[in-house]
Amino acid sequence: MAVYTLENAQVKMSVKSAGAELISLIDKATGYEYMWCGDPAFWGRVSPVLFPVVGQYKDKTSYYDGQAYTMGQHGFARDMEFELESQTEDEIWFSLAASPESHEKYPFDFLLCCGYRLEGRSVHMMWKVKNTDARTMYFSIGAHPAFNCPMDGTWKLRFDTDAPLTVGILENGVLSDRQKTLVLENGLYPITNDLFDDDALIVENDQAHNVAILNAEGKAVVEVDFQSHLFGVWSPVKKNAPFVCIEPWYGRSDRAGFDQKLENREYGNVLESGGEFEAEYLITV
């Protein structure tokens, strides 16, 4: 594993080749670290890339072409060593290709490229997925960045909507039929430990595309912009962990009654042989 840095006059970021994971984003003027430290006492990751599944398969198993494939939550890319493809002063790219190890969990040949570009006080996180298989490929991809944040109710989430948010609820790792509503006050909702008593907040159907974390003075500490149709907000259940994850997703956990066929997953992405998928999200501090 190697660690690479990009920096400009305002911020410095670090990415490790293991999982192509963003592990640090520091304000150079103040020394403030925006990213969670990855303390395993709460959660041992910082900003994993979720591929080729976001969330969890029902019973951790999916079926394709009559064969069962078992995979843990959020896929295997986050635990794989990526190759460095290129690095310039303000941009870096990593890649991960299918292997005999990945074929045990996932049937397709692929090339996953993850890039970061530093632009002022913003980090562009970029994904490119190429189907190098002869068959149509089905996959999900998503983000899981964790930002330092107290859980005492003095800090707030800000959404780019004033409308109440309809939130899906997980049970045993899969999406249940239960929902709850977050009633926003001028787009704001307080960050408290009990906010995540039902696990992640799953917000579907393009209800918001910008989520910010505001400090006790009401100033935006970090903003996440995305175009995905759904996202998650998470902190470990009942751990009072001092961070919040804002997670743009192109995919999510199966529903409780799902038929477990890979090609039928809701919010799944489809690539024909030789096809390419591109997406990005933006972190601004």
Domain residue ranges of the chain, discontinuous segments joined by +:
3-145, 149-250
| Confidence at 243, pLDDT banded by 50, 70, 90 | very high
Q: What is the pLDDT of residue 193?
A: 84
What is the C-alpha separation between 7 and 93, in angstroms, rounded? 15
CA-closest candidate to residue 270, choices 143, 134, 131: 131
What is the C-alpha separation between 8 and 123, in angstroms, rounded? 11
CA-closest candidate to residue 228, choices 210, 253, 254: 210
Residue 52: asked if its preceding bond is cis (omega within 30°), the reply is: yes
CA-closest candidate to residue 63, choices 277, 265, 267: 265
| Confidence at 225, pLDDT banded by 50, 70, 90 | very high
Under 8 Å between Cβ of 36 and 19: no
User: Whose structure tokens read 């998928």?
Assistant: 277
3-145 belongs to CATH 2.70.98.10: yes
For residue range 179-217, what is the model confidence (pLDDT) as tens digits? 999 999 999 999 998 999 989 999 999 999 999 999 999
Q: What is the pTM of this model?
A: 0.96
Q: What is the pLDDT of residue 75?
A: 95
